[in-house]
Structures are given as C-alpha cells and as structure tokens.
Amino acid sequence: MTDNLEMLLSEALTGLENIQDSGSLQKWESQFLGKNGRLTQMLKGIGKLPPEQRADFGKRANEIKQTLTEAYEQHTEIVRQHELGKALEEGELDVTLPGRPVQRGGLHPSTRILRQIQAIWAEMGFQVYTSRDVEDDDTNFTLLNIPPHHPARDMWDTFYTTQEGVILRTHTSPGQIHAMRDYGGNGTQPIRVILPGMCYRYEQMTARSEIQFNQVEGLAVGRHITMTDLKGTIADFARRLYGEDTKVRYRASHFPFTEPSMEVDVSCTLCGGKGCNVCKYTGWIEIMGCGMVHPVVLQNGGYDPTEWSGFAFGMGPERIAMRKHDIKDIRYFWSGDLRFLEQF
Ligand code: DAH
C-alpha cells in the first residue's frame, strides 16, 4: 500500500513537470488532489489496512498531499508566467496603426435647418416663442378667422382627440394668438417672434406629404407695420438663407388669417432660375405663405386693429431642406433610416 503511495507521488510529479497550459494543470489537479482524486481515494481505503499500518500510511499520505500541493502551486505560477509571455508576444500592439473612428450621433436634418432658420431670424431681431403641440379647436381655427363649418377648414385635415375640442395643431399659426395674448400686454406692446414646431395632419402619406412636419411661423405686430415691411423682411430672410443673388417674388394667395395674403417664391437654388427638375422648369420655388395679419386675428390677440397692424408668415423647414439637398421623398425625415440620416 505504501508503495502505491510512492508510485502515485512520482507519477504525479513527472506529469506536473510536463504541463505547459492552465487547462491541463486543472485536469492534473482534479486527477491527483481533487475531491475524487486518486490520493483521496487511497486515503478512503485506509480502513482496509491492518490497524498497525494505518498510522504510517496516513502520515505518509498527508506528507505526499503537502508535497503535491506545493509543487502544484509552484508550477501554476510557472504556467501563468509562460502564458502571459505568450499572450504579450502574440497580441503585440502596433501603436502606429491609425485608431478606429468612433461612431458619433449627428443632428437630424430637420434640427439643422431649424437652427439655421432660427439663427437668421434671431439676427433680424425675432425671438423664439414655443407654443403647444396639443391645441384647442378654437385657437387652431376659430380665433384665426376660420369659423366652425367654414369650408376653409378643409385646407387642414385634423387629428382629433377623444376629448371634445382638443386637437393636434395642424399648423403653427395658433401660436400667434398665444404670443399676442402672452406678450402683447393687452394690446399695448409690439411683438416680433418666430414660432417653430411640429404640426400634424390627418393625411395620406406620400412623397410630398407627411402626417407630421415642422413649421416656422413668424409674427410682427406694431403701430406702423406695412406690407412694405413684410416684403422687405422676407426678401432679407431669403437672401440670408439662400445667398445675396437670390431673387424673390410674391404671388397673391389666400389665407383666412391674413389680408392680403401672398405666397413667396425664390429663384431656384439649384439652377439659379434657368429651369431644372427641382423647380419643375419654372425657375422658381415656393418657400412660404405670408400676409398682413387679419384685423379679426389682431382683435382676438387683444389689439385694436385701427391702431395696430402686423405681418405673419409660415414656412416648412423640411420642404426647404428637401429643395436644398434635392431630397425626393418627405417620408425619409421620420423613417429613422440611418442611411438617410448619416448623410447630414
Ligand atoms: N398656416 C399656414 C399653413 O399651414 C401657413 C401660413 C400662411 C402661415 C400664411 C402664416 C401666413 O402665418 O401668414 O398652410
């Protein structure tokens, strides 16, 4: 029996010496020293020995266990150093390699154009007024001179909510009423604001129309504001946005909240007016609607229309961005498609 112990010792030590990796080291450990290892098995057989041999056998077995444990610990350190050396050698870093570019987020194209538009109006003395997305029917329509059941309401297909009279704004124009009531000082203070924000329309989604889109509304109210101020201001804005040489023209139009009303065209930014795909060979592209604030609207904002006047305008930043970058489909803006978004 004691011979078996000595054989186990020499076998284990030889085996250990040849081990080069931590996987084999673990196997060795469980084979010789583990709970079901060979040494433990032999110790369990101690009861089968004649009683006078048991003490010596037990003592020697424990010595061997001690020896093997120490050898195992020593060898573990050797293997660890060996593996570390190998890993360093194989995974050697080439510090001259260029770094991998970090993926960064970017601003949404709508945010970019909105910021650009806001910056231009800020230079011209217009403050940003943020109005609500969820409106009441009165402010979105009636107070803007669009009474219930008036056919003009058909211009705006509306998302209604389950609460009577509560809707999603179909345009930023109701912000005019809020701005006049909040900042007009009961019709005593002049106003110069822009109102950017999301609008919602219950419409068939097509390449040209979305159910949600941004608008930037503008409003100026004062004692001597005339149509000339409107035309000059808009032309100034257009040249700041599109460049010095941009031509601007006004076409008579109709909106219930302005009188008179106009639509504004600028000379095509892509072909400079010669005619191309984007301007449909007319040389002009439409950028906004505008007009002199209707007396009824001024009154609803708290102003006396015999003393006060104003102009208003409304533009669609996505439309402006589409023409700028020749984007053919407005649905790209909210599709969340990174292949589109990463181009800006
Ligand atoms: N609210 C109009 C629309 O959504 C745009 C508009 C036109 C706004 C003329 C105005 C304006 O302030 O004067 O179609």
| Cβ neighbours around 38 below 10 Å, total | 15
291 lines ligand 1 (CB under 6 A): yes
The pLDDT of residue 336 is: 92
Q: Give the position of tokens 């009474």.
A: 147
The pLDDT of residue 45 is: 83
Give the span between the Cα atoms of 326 and 319, in whole angstroms. Answer: 10
The pLDDT of residue 137 is: 95
Split at pLDDT 50, 70, 90, the class of 152 is: confident
Q: How many domains does the chain have?
A: 2
Q: Give the pLDDT confidence of 53-109 residue by residue, as tens digits.
A: 888 888 888 888 899 899 899 989 988 998 888 888 888 778 888 989 998 889 999
Report CA(217)–ligand 1 centroid distance (Å): 7
294 lines ligand 1 (CB under 6 A): no
Report yes or no on 123 lying in a domain.
yes
* Mean pLDDT value across the chain: 93
Assess whether pLDDT exceeds 80 at residue 265: yes
Range of the domain at 314: 110-341
Q: In terms of domains, do 49 and 137 share one?
A: no
Report CA(197)–ligand 1 centroid distance (Å): 13
| Cβ neighbours around 187 below 10 Å, total | 17
Q: Which pair of structure tokens corresponds to residue 169?
A: 């704004």
Q: Give the pLDDT confidence of 280-302 residue by residue, as tens digits.
A: 899 999 999 999 999 999 999 99
Give the span between the Cα atoms of 147 and 175, in whole angstroms. Answer: 17
Give the span between the Cα atoms of 301 and 184, in whole angstroms. Answer: 8
Contact 208, 232 (CB under 8 A): no
Q: In terms of domains, do 71 and 158 share one?
A: no
Q: In terms of domains, do 173 and 293 share one?
A: yes
Assess whether pLDDT exceeds 70 at residue 250: yes
Q: In terms of domains, do 245 and 155 share one?
A: yes
Which DSSP helix (H) or strand (E) runs through 157?
none
313 lines ligand 1 (CB under 6 A): yes
Long-range CB contacts (within 8 A, 24+) of 298-306? 298/180, 298/221, 300/143, 300/144, 300/177, 300/180, 301/176, 301/177, 301/179, 301/180, 301/181, 301/184, 301/187, 301/221, 302/180, 302/181, 302/184, 302/186, 302/187, 303/180, 303/184, 303/187, 303/221, 304/187
Atom of ligand 1 nearest to the CA of 314: 8
CA–CA distance from 139 to each of 128, 299, 301 (Å)? 19, 13, 10
The pLDDT of residue 47 is: 85
Split at pLDDT 50, 70, 90, the class of 37 is: confident
The pLDDT of residue 3 is: 80
Residue 317, burial from CB neighbour count under 10 angstroms (0-12, 13-18, 19+): buried
Q: In terms of domains, do 203 and 119 share one?
A: yes
Assess whether pLDDT exceeds 90 at residue 248: yes
Q: Which of 129, 257, 296, 298 to mutate to test the pocket of ligand 1 (most atoms within 8 A of CB)?
A: 257
Number of H helices, E strands in the chain: 11, 9
Q: In terms of domains, do 137 and 169 share one?
A: yes
Assess whether pLDDT exceeds 90 at residue 43: no
Q: In terms of domains, do 150 and 277 share one?
A: yes
